[in-house]
């Protein structure tokens, strides 16, 4: 039993070291990934788009003949379930930073990594933020602070700059974070 604890401790230590930031006074440039931000109060970034391909899906929710599936940090896929044998992908609701949601009547309650948004979904083709409660959530520091499916150096996320909505390759000045 003790041997299993030792193995687990070594593995945990190794995994923690795979993503880290390097404090240094050294200066250099190299190609890496830079986070792209939007303001958590820029609700023009919440809208309906056509169907999208899925990358990182959450659990489905069925409500009023539709199936809703979260795409972590991006938004919600909407499927018409009028034919349960063949659900049809109809919309993607873009909600930057979203990880959780629920639906009550014609309202979607969803996070955008920081705030609780109330979104009118009475017209699924044209959703609208109608209210928000500020700073209900702490930004997800563990899951959206590095570029997905990437190995190398990147600019560390600064959550005070906003919600991370994507990553771009760029020449960076002294990038302190890396993934191996």
Range with the poorest average pLDDT among 13-27, 76-90, 113-127: 13-27
The 10s digit of each residue's pLDDT in 92-105 is 999 999 989 999 99
Hey, which bits of 25-160 come out as E strands? 29-38, 47-49, 57-63, 66-71, 75-80, 88-94, 101-104, 107-111, 116-120, 128-133, 152-154
Average pLDDT, the chain: 87
Q: What is the pLDDT of residues 56-71, one digit of tens each?
A: 888 899 999 999 999 9
pLDDT greater than 80 at residue 27: yes
Lowest-pLDDT range, 1-5, 49-53, 82-86?
1-5
- Average pLDDT (135-151) is 80
26 pLDDT band, cuts 50/70/90, is confident
Q: How far is CA 102 from CA 45, 89, 134, 180, in A?
A: 19, 19, 18, 36
Domain range summary for the chain, segments of one domain joined by +: 44-133
- Topology of 44-133 in CATH? Thrombin, subunit H (2.40.10)
Per-residue confidence at 24, pLDDT binned at 50, 70, 90?
low
Whole-model pTM? 0.79
Which pLDDT belongs to residue 170?
96
**Alpha helix positions (H), 19-139:** none
């Amino acid at each position: 039993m003790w041997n299993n604890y030792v193995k687990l401790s070594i593995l945990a230590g190794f995994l923690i070291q795979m993503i880290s930031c390097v404090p240094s006074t050294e200066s250099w440039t190299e190609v890496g990934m830079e986070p792209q931000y939007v303001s958590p109060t820029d609700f023009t970034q919440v809208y309906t788009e056509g169907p999208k391909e899925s990358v990182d899906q959450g659990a489905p929710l069925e409500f009023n003949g539709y199936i809703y599936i979260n795409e972590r940090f991006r938004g919600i896929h909407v499927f018409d379930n009028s034919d349960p044998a063949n659900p049809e992908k109809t919309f993607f609701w873009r909600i930057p930073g979203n990880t959780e949601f629920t639906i009550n009547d014609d309202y979607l309650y969803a996070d955008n990594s920081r705030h609780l948004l109330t979104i009118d979904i009475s017209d699924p083709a044209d959703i609208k933020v109608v209210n928000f409660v500020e700073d209900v959530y702490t930004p997800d520091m563990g899951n959206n602070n590095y570029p997905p499916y990437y190995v190398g150096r990147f600019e560390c996320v600064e959550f005070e700059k906003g919600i991370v909505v994507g990553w771009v390759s760029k020449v960076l000045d002294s990038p302190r974070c890396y993934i191996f």
